[in-house]
Amino acid sequence: MTLQFGTDGVRGVANVDLSPELVVAFGRAVVRALGSDRRYLVGRDTRRSGTLIEVALSAGICSEGGTVESAGVIPTPGLAYLAQTLDTPAVMISASHNPFPDNGLKLFAAGGRKIPDAAEREIEAGLLAILEHGPGDGVPVAGAVGVATRMSGGTERYVAHLGASIGGRSLDGLRVVLDCGHGAAFEVAPEALRALGATVEVLNAVPDGSNINAGCGSTHPEGVQRAVVELGFDAGLAFDGDADRVVAVDEQGRLIDGDHILAICALDLRDRGLLRRDTVVTTVMANLGFRRAMADRGIRVVETPVGDRSVLAAMETDDAVLGGEQSGHVIFSELATTGDGTLTGIQLLDVLHRTGSRLSELAAVMTVFPQVLRNVRVADRGALDSARGFWAAVEACGSELGDDGRILVRPSGTEPVVRIMVEAAEPGVAAAVAKRLETVLLAELG
């Protein structure tokens, strides 16, 4: 067994897929790829397995001569910020929004950006070699081995950075419910918003190692929706386990997803002359309503495959300052090197505070098209390209929808599943088209 990078690092069941032995070897491979003459920052979310994996990872890094500084529990973007400002590589131990038995490893290069594909392939090859042949000759001994220490002041620096992100303004008078999902933001997010003057009610901020993402946070925002209405607050924010994404809730308890957040912030930046090239980057999953709202206001939309890595690459190519995903993973490139749920929430609340608007009024900038997603389990997703009858049906359905709808088909990267997404002006139409395409696909691929 070995470890392979997916769309967002390495993930698996802790102590099974991510066994201590594998993680030690992984730490060795990381140092061999990125260099031993440097320190490595390590952070983790609140999962019970986090300390087990941190110890194994640190042992692997130290055994190759690297030095480890542990930032403890910290959001992924917080660790990325420290990697940026300290110009050192970092490894985040987290499985993001996955349930607590899972865990994962996310790597950042010195400078705070996720490591490039070439470095991932080098680490995979190095890991395989270590597992097959052992560490080999010439490993550090005695005074050449690395040491592991605890970092002090890391989260405080990150909280200060969050507060500075709105340029000296405050959030005085705003009343906000935070759902921390029992995850990595359970301390820093409330602290940052309170320091900016907001009145904060906090939900799900008592992690016990097993309750991360459990019926709460960005994947289960029902609790924060109820709380905002019951308390009569202005807004709510819900984070995932490592707090690199956020969804919001307006004063009426309605969900404000990543598409809405991108639309609101894009227009605000454009109105203040800060949206370079009047461009925003998003993925193929962005709602048709978002695209129309941007087009109607003269903002160019650059579309990428799913994944924050693709979004960031397009932002760099097009010199864009804003990009993100419907899931709430939003990147403000002049403020962060990766998606940051707490920072994104603060930017959204800053718009709310400056304009004196209600969040529901700001969100009305776009009309959401009903979207139906079907995950169709097939015998061989690799045969999708040759399924001529299915693609003929896709073309026919697309013609029927015209400008009032959209069809997106893509195979899963990890499961024997083909994802069919249909948008249309009417929910019934979207559901009917999705069902029709699912039937044709199953007939061809089984």
pLDDT in tens, 224-282: 999 999 999 999 999 999 999 999 999 999 999 999 999 999 999 999 999 999 999 99
446, pLDDT greater than 80 = no
Query: Distance between CA atoms of 41 and 90, rounded to whole angstroms?
Result: 4
Q: Within this chain, do residues 176 and 141 fall inside the same structural domain, yes or no?
A: no
Q: Specify if 5 maps to a domain.
A: no
pLDDT confidence of 412, banded at 50, 70, 90? confident
Q: Specify if 254 maps to a domain.
A: yes
Query: Distance between CA atoms of 244 and 146, rounded to whole angstroms?
Result: 30
37 or 47: whose pLDDT is higher? 47
Among 68-72, 191-195, 266-270, 394-398, where is mean pLDDT lowest? 394-398
Q: Within this chain, do residues 102 and 36 fall inside the same structural domain, yes or no?
A: yes
Q: Is 96 a catalytic residue?
A: yes
376, pLDDT greater than 70 = yes
Query: Distance between CA atoms of 332 and 240, rounded to whole angstroms?
Result: 18
Contacts of 274 (CB under 8 A, 6+ apart): 321
Give the CA radius of gyration of the chain. 23
Where do we find the tokens 């067994």?
A: 1
Indicate which residue of 96, 165, 218, 333 is catalytic: 96
pLDDT confidence of 151, banded at 50, 70, 90? very high
Q: Within this chain, do residues 204 and 328 fall inside the same structural domain, yes or no?
A: yes
Domain range for 269 is: 157-363
pLDDT confidence of 121, banded at 50, 70, 90? very high
- Structurally, the chain folds into a number of domains equal to 3
Q: Specify if 120 maps to a domain.
A: yes
Q: What is the CATH number of the domain that holds 99?
A: 3.40.120.10
pLDDT at position 82: 98
Q: Specify if 35 maps to a domain.
A: yes
Q: Within this chain, do residues 266 and 174 fall inside the same structural domain, yes or no?
A: yes
Q: Specify if 4 maps to a domain.
A: no
Q: b/e per residue, 219-229, with b = 16+ CB within 10 A?
A: bbbebbbebbb
Query: Distance between CA atoms of 161 and 6, rounded to whole angstroms?
Result: 30
414, pLDDT greater than 70 = no
pLDDT at position 52: 98
Mean pLDDT of 354-373: 95
Q: Specify if 332 maps to a domain.
A: yes
Q: Within this chain, do residues 306 and 380 fall inside the same structural domain, yes or no?
A: no
Mean pLDDT of 86-99: 95
Amino acid type, 310: S
Q: Within this chain, do residues 297 and 166 fall inside the same structural domain, yes or no?
A: yes
Q: What is the CATH number of the domain that holds 441?
A: 3.30.310.50
Of 328, 363, 398, the position where a domain reaches its end is 363
pLDDT confidence of 306, banded at 50, 70, 90? confident
Sheet bearing 148-150, strands edge to edge: 10-13, 102-108, 90-93, 39-44, 67-73, 148-150
pLDDT at position 201: 98
Contact 70, 40 (CB under 8 A): no
Task: Specify the DSSP class assigned to residue 174.
Answer: -
Percent of the chain at pLDDT > 70 equals: 99
Query: Distance between CA atoms of 233 and 253, rounded to whole angstroms?
Result: 10
Among 26-35, 254-263, 292-301, 302-311, where is mean pLDDT lowest? 302-311
